[in-house]
Structure 1
Amino acid sequence: MKSLLPTPSLSLLLPLLLAIPESFAASTPAELELPPVTVYGVRSISPGKTSISSAEIERQQALTVQQLLDNLPGVDLNGSFRPGGQSLNIWGFGDVEDIRVQLDGANKGFEKYRQGSIFIEPELIKRITVDKGAHSVRFGNGGFGGTVQIESKDAADLLQPGQRLGGLAKLAWHSNDGQRLGSASVFARAEDEAALPWQFLLAVTARDSGNQRRADGSEYEFSNTHARSVLAKLSLPIGEAKLTLSAIEGRSQAWSPFAAKRDEMPAPTAAEIAKYGEREAWLRKVLWRDQRDSSQTLQWQYAPAAQPLLDLQLRLTRSSSVQDDQRPDSISSDFAASLGKQSHASYRDQQFELSNTARFATGALGHELAAGLQVQRHQRDTLMLLHTRTQDASYNYGWLQPYYMPSGQQRSLAGWLEDEMRWGRFSLKPGLRYEQVRTEGQPNLAPRYNDPKAGHDYSAAWHSGWSQHLAASWRASAAASWFADAGRSWRAPVIDEMFEVQSAAASAPATSRGLRKERVTALRGGLKFQQADWLSDGDALAATFTAFRNLVHDNIHKRFGVMVEPGSVRPAQLPFYRNLPGYRSEGLEVEAHYEQRRYFMTASLAWMDGEHRGSIRDPWSAKNQPLIDIGAPKAVLVLGAKWPAHGLALGWQGKFVGAQTQVPDDEIVPYALPAAKGYAVHGLFAQWQGRGRWAGSRMQLSVDNLFNRSYQPYLAEAVYAPGRNLKLSFSQQI
């Protein structure tokens, strides 16, 4: 094994949106609809949202969901290129609790230190929608960066018109890491299409690969993949209602570094190799990781056509992400700061949601009134073994919860209401949400970290409050529409922030039950242009310009540097976390899609900026500090041609990322990322869809990093990206 501009103010947009000429009052409410425009079956855009369809998912042939989203404006992959070491950053929000992810409505998120956050097999996904910013009262308690909604495949997505039973087999290969992918699906639906038919889908996938390679040919140690996934989905008609049950299970096993978000592993020394042998010497640097991820959703929908006041939805979901780690038997060190000799981490979520949408009119004003009730429960269980402490009672004889990753549960109860009111070409949608959150820690098994004299208090704490949102849109012409969103939301401290502790001898040993809510004021607005037959008959253009600004107050962070305000008395039991003054993030995005019969184009551009009030180390500093999690300027351009009669499409993709130099000084701010250089990466792709007797055959060919460029994305924390990668897949449907 070898290692080798001036800041834009979005508040100026709102008066413009409210200045509506009276001449538009006679327009019909139907003219106000802003349906997404799909270009080449790849991507659709609507105000504030971008969706990726199954066509682009297949084209990219990505290893992870995070890689799929990395080409979107304002969205960046955060972490390494190991499959288990990736999370997301949206609009400068990079913490797991700031990006809400749902799979078929089930909450997903894994907050374990230095690990990835989403473990969903892309082969099982039909669509991903990203709604950037905290701009919906349907979701609460976090998600300041936005919401990522992932939908699994349905039988209807695979069955051909008139087909009742079918199957699909797919094989794929990647050159960089020798990856092999195999997947198979069977799907069926009812014979009678006159009524709402039942549908069934069963799909399984398997991925195996060696280590990825950087552009210089060196191996990216312990980046191999061994994963299995299965999806089962059933839709049943019950009178005028529809019941859908879906379940997704995934499992991976591999040797991995404790911190999957890292680059090169430190190679064993000559002395270690001589003592243990080369393989054992390498394995002493890592651990065996068994990871399991699952989601189950039951959804009931009742929307009788004759009853516009009824569109009832009931959804029950469960999800879990579990990691079990085991270090080699030859290890003698404790590794107390990295989860010991053995560790177990389990994150489980349950949710009940009931909602209804009523559609009606009051005079010339059309309404779409929606209301909902949500009950959620998050359970976190952790445990580790310090095998050199098995005789020490203060460490519970070696078995304890990691003091930096405590166990506990968080429950929330919420109700929300929003009314979309349409009048002519103008729409106004106010929304309101109330939520109550109860967070309780689990007392540590080790007396060392369960000491009331040190301020260790694991009892429950409550947070509650209102969230408000206002959205407005105005269709200025048949092709152009203005839109704006303004909202205020909040999040309660997560379990880690409230109950992480240190021993009594540390400088800040206590739990942080007194933390205030973290709050955000979110602004978003811009222009959407959408027109068919733009340059020629049969073509289409869809484009958006979006500006945003987020003002965060009382942000929560670990306490270090200047521990208390100068001149104040330092408490004897200082909490480990504190509220800081806050920060801002802002930016601009442009996204455009154009298509005609023979050609297509997608282009996007994103720029962001942000800074803390004071600094993370010294909240009382008069000097503001650049925001650590701001992505570098990024442009992505896709150009292609197609020959529909032959089922053939070819294209080129270029990603152009600017340098990021607005970073804090490492000597002043712990956890700061190093400045990064700009880079450009090119790729090619081709797709063939069979015709006639080959109608069920499909082939995808693509090349990533065509010129084998060596580069380090800023948010990858100085991790080198993989080198050139040829990807080939073939599928056959019957």
Structure 2
Amino acid sequence: MTRKTRPARRWMRSPLLSLLLGSVVLASLPEGAWAQQADTISIDLPAGSFAASLSRFASQSGLQVVFDASLASGKSSGRVSGSMTVGEALQKLLAGTGLTYRFVGERTVKLEKVSADAPASGTDDETLLSRVTVEAGGVFNSGAPSVAEIGAAQIEAAQSNSLPQLLQKTPGVSATGGVRLQGQSLSIRGFTRQSDVRILLDGAPKNFERYDQGTVFVDPELLKRVEIQKGATSVRYGNGGFGGTVIMESKTAEDMLLEGRSFGAWVKTGYQTANHQRLGSAAIYGKSDFGGPVTYDGLASVIWRKSGNMRVGGGQVYEASSDRLTSFSANGGLEVDGHELRASVIYGRSSDYGPPAANRGDLDLTAYSISRYGYELARLRALALREMEDFSSSLKYGYTGDSDLVNVKAMLSVSSTDLHMTRPTIAGFTPSASLGGQEDDAKYTDVKFELENTSNFDLGGFSHVANYGVQYMHHDRDTWMYDIANRNSAQYNYGRYTSWIMPQGKQDTLAAFIRDEIALTADFKVTPGLRFDYVRSQGVPNAAPRYNNPAAGHDYSAVSHSGATPALSLRWEATPETTLFADWAYAMRVPVIDELYSSQSASTTASGTSRNLEVERDNNFNIGISHQFDGLLAEEDTVKTSLALFYNHVTNPVTRRFGSANLANVTGPVPFYWNTPSYKIYGADLSVNYDSETIFSTLGLSWMNGSRNGAINDVRGPDTYFQDLAPFTGNVQLGYKFADWDLAISWTGLFVSAQNRTPYNQGTGYFYARPESKGYAVHGISVDWTPKEGSLAGIEVHAAIDNLFDKYYEPYLSDGIAAMPGRNFKVSISRKF
């Protein structure tokens, strides 16, 4: 087999490499790849998921395969079996995928799309050498049952209005809040706090945490892929994320271009009946080298949503539940000689009247209020003008050399979320300060920089893939309100101050991490990891003397926390069809600004700020198994199953200090937040996917349980349930494909059991717990038409009816105050040009 080559480069050419490679043992140069391609190996890859086949190929060949995860999303591969060279195996594996490969090191193969003017993979036995920067794939326990992925095709078919709606069918993931887009949040494996569900958009953290509001406001239309890493066992992240990490990637030109095209456009329209939502979206994009050595690509898009009030099951319409959202995005990059630079900007804005607390149901106007003020005035008194702006930007650089030691990435991101609320001005109406007063604003801003490298080398007789790097993160909370009721009080700074439960402040984090996947055998890999975080928090003194009084224990000065997170992962490919996984980490979470610097007045017992809080710790485990069956019911069918068991033991959890039992015999001011006794959450997720030429089906099951030592409001009392446990949940889909027509129809079912595992009926816990919920079953049908050939190629039509029987139901995590949408007909039509 021949190979096109180019002159070797000097690794010292990049000024960053001497620092990054100083701690790595030097490995041989890529000339050894010639021998790798010619070696005859025994390969047995069953038909099925392309990503799973790549992972098996890496294990059986002894090679490291790196690729952007989006390249494998939604693809399948045929069976590859027998004795053959590496090159022959790769050609057969990549046949029909539109991908090619190249060796970039002695044992490292990269996958990339075939360019429009390049021959297909394997032509004349040559390996193409066009340059791209890709993300590592097939390493660090990829494919584990605790990891779920939603690709572009699934995002389009779902027609979801928000990220929580998109992810809620993933086992172990639930949506919280109500039907309003601004009030929705995510819960993963029983963890519902924003700091326990880490959210990243193109690498930029999204850390909005305003009480009674949502946490993420990204339109799913912008996304090409979402990955959910359940649990906190990866040292790549850190400081929080006990429930898991949600990684969102926005669309690029390469994701949108039709085959063989350099430029294109896309338009889409959609409609939903439950809230009369109208959707419009358009994008233009292109990719070309314009005859030079540099390849450029760019995409610009706009999305517009407008809806009326939401109709829930049974026919009730929730007042002030309408939404208006406009989003803009731009994504561009350039590639040259192993270097890639990419920038993305996403901006969204919404403005409409709604209740001050967005995660609720109807306005619930009382008969007394209506009779006293009249319906329209009573309605206005319950509303606020909610203006939301959400911004994310990232700049990424990547360099991939011809050495196994070099795969450098750097990223700088800036993101912010700003919610401004104004209550109507009504004679005699004085809005409560607990709901933000007459006017309030909360803006949360994050700046992040990270630098990392991945190296492949041999040491001690074993193959290593080491990923290591440093990170800096700056988080700023800027909040204020106008409390019109105290506009004449000097103790309240004449009404202009920061809410006592949403203090201002900033956190700066310095972190370093390393993880090393060691192949002890071709089938067994162990990955030790270590992370260190140093976090410095600084409060901003409240402008109101009532909440800035040393005698009440108020102290807004800086405080530091630090700690190490050790981790260990195991992966054993017992057979080509069966893989076992195990992960452990002793994760940490530093208290956030609200927990450190919230306060009350001197007239209360627990009035002080809480600078002495200790770091939370989560001793967490994931154990899982995945198995693939081929030819089970038909010759070409595939069944993929995965089972994940998880256990979390959280020590030093941070909670508010409330409850008469907790405050009994307490003298003098004490902190508003404190560390309480530990709690445990454990459970299981099961996923089963069946696919054949005509029939497809999915099954997702989730079960969890847990307990707290004592209760939140009585830490010395009897043990109680942990309050955020989602009930046993099953999601089912059964469908049929008309391959000749590129048409698929399916039925979906959501089955949720009653939830009585709540502290609501345990002693005095009902004051601070979610009420019990009833079980329910919800059904839907969908039709998807995606013609692949002819004049209609590029068109997609998706139609569905959710909640087919118009069921009225209230999910447990909605706190019994919000039902879900009723029967909802959804349709979207898009076309690429």
Confirm or deny a common fold (TM above 0.5).
Answer: yes
2:210 counterpart (105, 112, 115): 112
2:476 counterpart (368, 379, 383): 379
Deviation at 1:31, TM superposition (A): 10
Match of 2:166 in 1: 68
CA distance in 2, matches of 1:187, 1:46: 34
CA distance in 2, matches of 1:274, 1:449: 35
Distance 1:268 1:581, change over 3 A: closer
Match of 1:324 in 2: 420
CA distance in 2, matches of 1:587, 1:104: 30
Deviation at 1:507, TM superposition (A): 1.5
Q: Which structure is higher in RCO with an 8 Å CA cutoff and minimum separation 6?
A: 1
Distance 1:45 1:61, change over 3 A: farther
1:151 aligns with 2:249: yes
1:610 aligns with 2:706: yes
2:390 counterpart (286, 293, 307): 293
CA distance in 1, matches of 2:612, 2:777: 47
1:559 aligns with 2:592: no
CA distance in 1, matches of 2:291, 2:215: 40
Instruction: Flag structure 1 segments of 5+ consecutive residues without an equivalent.
Output: 1-25
Deviation at 1:268, TM superposition (A): 5.5
CA distance in 1, matches of 2:379, 2:747: 40
Structure possessing the higher radius of gyration over alpha carbons: 2
Deviation at 1:499, TM superposition (A): 0.6
Deviation at 1:541, TM superposition (A): 2.4
Deviation at 1:454, TM superposition (A): 0.5
Once the two structures are superposed, the pairs formed by residues 146-545 of structure 1 within 5 Å of their partners are: 146-191=244-289, 197-267=295-365, 269=367, 272=370, 275=373, 278-304=375-401, 306-330=402-426, 332-362=429-459, 364-422=461-519, 423-545=521-643
Equivalent position SS for 1:715:
helix
Match of 1:10 in 2: none
Match of 1:721 in 2: 820
Equivalent position SS for 1:498:
helix
CA distance in 1, matches of 2:293, 2:691: 36
Please tell me whether the aligned partners of residues 170 and 184 of structure 1 are also in contact (alpha carbons under 8 angstroms).
yes
Please tell me whether the aligned partners of residues 726 and 812 of structure 2 are also in contact (alpha carbons under 8 angstroms).
yes
Please tell me whether the aligned partners of residues 32 and 424 of structure 1 are also in contact (alpha carbons under 8 angstroms).
no
1:633 aligns with 2:728: yes
- Letter of the structure 1 residue corresponding to residue 821 of structure 2: P
CA distance in 2, matches of 1:272, 1:388: 23
1:699 aligns with 2:819: no
1:50 aligns with 2:148: yes
Equivalent position SS for 1:84:
helix
Match of 1:587 in 2: 683
More helix by share: 2
Deviation at 1:112, TM superposition (A): 0.4
CA distance in 1, matches of 2:509, 2:243: 20
Match of 2:184 in 1: 86
Distance 1:324 1:86, change over 3 A: same
Q: Normalising by structure 1, what TM-score? A: 0.92
1:682 aligns with 2:715: no
Deviation at 1:238, TM superposition (A): 3.8
Match of 1:731 in 2: 830
CA distance in 2, matches of 1:191, 1:685: 41
Deviation track 1:525-573 (CA, whole Å, cap 9, x = no partner) reads 121113555544433222111111000001000011256587xx63412
- Letter of the structure 2 residue corresponding to residue 290 of structure 1: E
1:619 counterpart (715, 718, 728): 715
Distance 1:437 1:31, change over 3 A: closer
Equivalent position SS for 2:199:
strand
Please tell me whether the aligned partners of residues 40 and 600 of structure 1 are also in contact (alpha carbons under 8 angstroms).
no
Deviation at 1:301, TM superposition (A): 0.5
CA distance in 2, matches of 1:31, 1:112: 44
Equivalent position SS for 1:668:
helix
CA distance in 2, matches of 1:272, 1:425: 70
Instruction: Flag structure 2 segments of 5+ consecutive residues without an equivalent.
Output: 1-58, 77-141
Please tell me whether the aligned partners of residues 295 and 336 of structure 2 are also in contact (alpha carbons under 8 angstroms).
no
Once the two structures are superposed, the pairs formed by residues 20-31 of structure 1 within 5 Å of their partners are: 29-30=62-63
Equivalent position SS for 2:679:
strand
Distance 1:138 1:721, change over 3 A: same
Match of 1:22 in 2: none
Moved more, 641-650 or 320-329: 641-650
Deviation at 1:387, TM superposition (A): 1.4
- Letter of the structure 2 residue corresponding to residue 655 of structure 1: L
Deviation track 1:637-692 (CA, whole Å, cap 9, x = no partner) reads 11111122211111111111111111113561232111111111111111112331
Please tell me whether the aligned partners of residues 475 and 482 of structure 1 are also in contact (alpha carbons under 8 angstroms).
yes
CA distance in 2, matches of 1:39, 1:312: 27
Deviation at 1:710, TM superposition (A): 1.0
Q: Normalising by structure 2, what TM-score? A: 0.82
CA distance in 2, matches of 1:413, 1:31: 31
Deviation track 1:78-104 (CA, whole Å, cap 9, x = no partner) reads 111211111111111011110000000
- Letter of the structure 2 residue corresponding to residue 127 of structure 1: R
- Letter of the structure 1 residue corresponding to residue 62 of structure 2: P
CA distance in 1, matches of 2:630, 2:392: 40
1:647 aligns with 2:737: no
Distance 1:363 1:430, change over 3 A: closer
CA distance in 2, matches of 1:527, 1:168: 40
Equivalent position SS for 2:491:
helix
CA distance in 2, matches of 1:102, 1:532: 36
- Letter of the structure 2 residue corresponding to residue 632 of structure 1: P
Deviation track 1:293-337 (CA, whole Å, cap 9, x = no partner) reads 010000000012x11100000000010000110000106314111
Any runs of at least 4 consecutive aligned residues in structure 1 with deviations exceeding 4 A, and if so which?
30-41, 191-196, 268-275, 531-535, 562-566
Match of 1:658 in 2: 753
Deviation track 1:53-80 (CA, whole Å, cap 9, x = no partner) reads 1111111101110001111100001111
Distance 1:274 1:508, change over 3 A: closer
Distance 1:201 1:442, change over 3 A: same
Moved more, 527-536 or 476-485: 527-536
